Amino acid sequence: MGVSCGSSLRDTWSRAADRCSRLFPCFSDPARRSAFSLKLALVLLHILFAGVLFLFDRDLIEKTKHQPWYTATYVLLFVATLVQYFVTAGTSPGYVIDVQKAIDERDAEARRTLLASNIQKAVDDRDAAARKPLFASKQPASSKNGDVAITVDGRNNHRGNVTAWTKLVMSLFPQRSSPTGLTCPYCNILQPPRAKHCHDCNKCVLQFDHHCVWLGTCIGQGNHCRFWWYICGETALTLWTCILYIGYLKSNILKAWWADIILILLLAALSISLIFLMLLLLFHSYLIMTNQTTYELVRRRRIAYLRGIPERVYPFNEGVCRNLYLFCCARSSSMYRLERLPTAQELEEKSRPYTCYDVLSCRCC
């Protein structure tokens, strides 16, 4: 009886899953289903923590009637945090394959434009030579008039048939670097400095930081700024919610014990989340000011271009102000920015300790 009931339930569940897959083809992928479930769970958690507060706290409802701006600001922060979450989750972290295609297509378009202009110039020169009077040309005509020598596949380059992406990436490394050691074994693509292959996304990411499970995507150069703003908004919302919970418990601690137990448990979960979010916000703020990533900080000894550099020397650090500008403002003009490895002289300059003159001259900035 139990076996037949269990088998019937499994059949019913499989039929429901097949029907859902037909109606929503995007849910046929287990990874997408998992990402959707995590997003739904996060939204429900936000609604739960805020909804319980408005359900039990009558003083907050009365305050809303007299001071609607207070509750409206809280609701606005609540909505803005969720919007920032979905915007960050939907933003590309900066996949190397997309940047490679864009650069190669731009180079191919430039070659086609150059080819068309050279052909047009050759035709114009030939027409001008044909219209020239015979008595004006006393020298014999060259046999090269009208001949056009144009190479499209780049064979006239001294490096042979090399794509624009390969030339660009190799210019970011020292001259004696070999493309073989810089090629990703999974994507079979040449990786620029600070790029790493993400096994969850199965793609190489520019300036890889980490793979965020809650967002369902990687954090890289393309969405790191949005990720920081999301953490900032989430921290502010959690802190404000904790203050509202504490205010309710102070004034209603002995009125309904069962409601107090529920709110105390939720407040404990909020407090743990707040500590984690504040530490995460401070950690990423430190990374931004020193122009580092989580991967570079944690796996420094395993990264080839960081092995020979002292621990407290940050090779991509350009000063706090410059780092903040590149992180927050430079993305509007150039979505993806490829950084070259610093030379030995630049590393020596970065490793030099700060003096009083350096502080006064804002060398650290």
- Say what the pLDDT of residue 268 is: 94
For residue 235, what are the β-bridge partners?
A: none
- Say what the pLDDT of residue 78 is: 95
Amino acid letter at 180?
A: T
Q: Annotate 126-153 with b (16+ C-beta within 10 A) or e (fewer).
A: eeeeeeeeeeeeeeeeeeeeeeeeeeee
- Say what the pLDDT of residue 271 is: 95
- Which letter does DSSP use for residue 331 in this model? G
Which helix H or strand E contains 311, and what residues bound it? none
- Say what the pLDDT of residue 266 is: 92
Low-confidence ranges of the chain (pLDDT < 50): 1-3, 134-160, 332-333
**191, 361 contact by CB (below 8 A):** no
Closest CA to 323 of 355, 360, 286: 286
3-state secondary structure (DSSP) of residue 67: coil
Amino acid letter at 351?
A: S
3-state secondary structure (DSSP) of residue 217: strand
End-to-end CA distance of the chain: 74
Q: Which two tokens stand for residue 331?
A: 């993305």
- Say what the pLDDT of residue 140 is: 45
Contacts of 154 (CB under 8 A, 6+ apart): 111, 160, 161, 162, 163
Q: What is the pLDDT of residues 115-173, one digit of tens each?
A: 888 888 888 778 777 776 644 444 444 434 433 333 333 333 334 457 888 888 888 88
Query: How far apart are the C-alpha atoms of 167 and 183, rounded to whole Å?
Result: 14
Query: How far apart are the C-alpha atoms of 54 and 67, rounded to whole Å?
Result: 15
Catalytic residues, by residue number, are 212
- Tell me phi and psi for residue 198, to 5 degrees: -100, 120
- Say what the pLDDT of residue 135 is: 46
- Say what the pLDDT of residue 357 is: 61
- Say what the pLDDT of residue 131 is: 74
3-state secondary structure (DSSP) of residue 274: helix
pTM: 0.79
